[in-house]
Amino acid sequence: MTDRELIDRFVGGDQSAFTQLMQNHEDRVFGLCLRMLRDRTKALDATQETFLTLYRKADKYHGKSAFSTWLYRVAVNTCYDQLRKEKRKRADALPAHLDPIDPHVTDEMRAVELRPDIESALATLQPEFRSAVILVDMEGHSLETAAEMLAVPIGTVKSRVFRGRRILASSLGNLSNPSTPPRDDRG
């Protein structure tokens, strides 16, 4: 059953269709959020919020774009929202002694499953560049789809990806350096 059929069924009251939609997309939404937020807990937060938005606003989806485009746009905006709030929190940070100690902080060690150098380099990008690079270069979305997801013109997506890659190239150093660790998929 297609996403379109599933969402029609869900809007019509079939709760199982929502479950199926979620199963179809939860990993990619989570992956997008994890790469944007670099924290599994925050990524789960954002994933949850994304699907709750879907639950609440499914009837607002009119099929103008692919369902996945619509859903990932919600996810991107949710991640932006998280980042915006973090930025404000950092600007208004509590004194260190009031910051609760997190006994599970070691979970941060599994923050993202990318190569550490790529992960660190991605973190240096502004959120707008990061989202464009993730959607186009990592998630493999077309420029048109990424433009819809980010609600910007295609030219803007190109510019953001280009500039993002430029920063990544700089952050990652000499890409042809033989000391660069092998990719995970080269076994």
Partner 1 sequence: MSADHPPFPEPNSPERIELLFDLAAGLLDEATVERFTAELTESEYQEIEDQRSVNAMLATAPAVTMEDDERAALREMIRSEASSRTNLLGFKMPERRWSRSNWAGIGGVAASLLLVVVAGGFVLGGLGTAGDDAASSVAADAAATTTMQAEMMEESAASDEDRSLSAPATAAAESLQAIPEPEDGSGVAAVEDVSVIRESDVEDLLAETPPGPRPYNPENLLCRDEIDSEDVTFGYLGRWADESGDRLNAVMFKIERGLEASVQVLDTADCSLLFELDK
Identified binder of partner 1 from the candidate list 7, 125, 149, 150, rule CB under 8 A: 150
Of 6, 7, 17, 18, the one binding partner 1 by CB under 8 A: 18
Exposed, middle or buried by CB within 10 Å (0-12, 13-18, 19+), for 139? middle
Q: Is the dihedral of CA 76, 82, 87, 90 positive or negative?
A: negative
Cα–Cα–Cα angle for 20, 23, 2, rounded to 5 degrees: 50
Among 2, 12, 56, 94, binds partner 1 (CB under 8 A): 56
In the structure encoding, which two tokens stand for residue 45, read together? 């937060």
> Which one-letter amino acid corresponds to residue 121?
A
158, two tokens: 């190109």
How far apart CA 97 and CA 90 sit, in angstroms, is: 15
| Residue with Cβ nearer partner 1 (5 or 86) | 86
- Least distance (Å) from partner 1 to the CB of residue 124? 13
127 binds partner 1 (CB under 8 A): yes
Which of 4, 102, 123, 124 contacts partner 1 by CB under 8 A? 102
Phi, psi of 113 (to 5 degrees): -100, 25
Residues that bind partner 1 (CB under 8 A): 18-19, 22, 26-27, 30-31, 34-35, 40-42, 44-45, 47-49, 51-52, 55-57, 60, 76-77, 80-81, 83-85, 88, 102-105, 107, 112-115, 118, 127-128, 133, 137-138, 140, 150-151, 155, 158-159, 161-163, 165-166, 168-169, 172, 175-176, 183-185
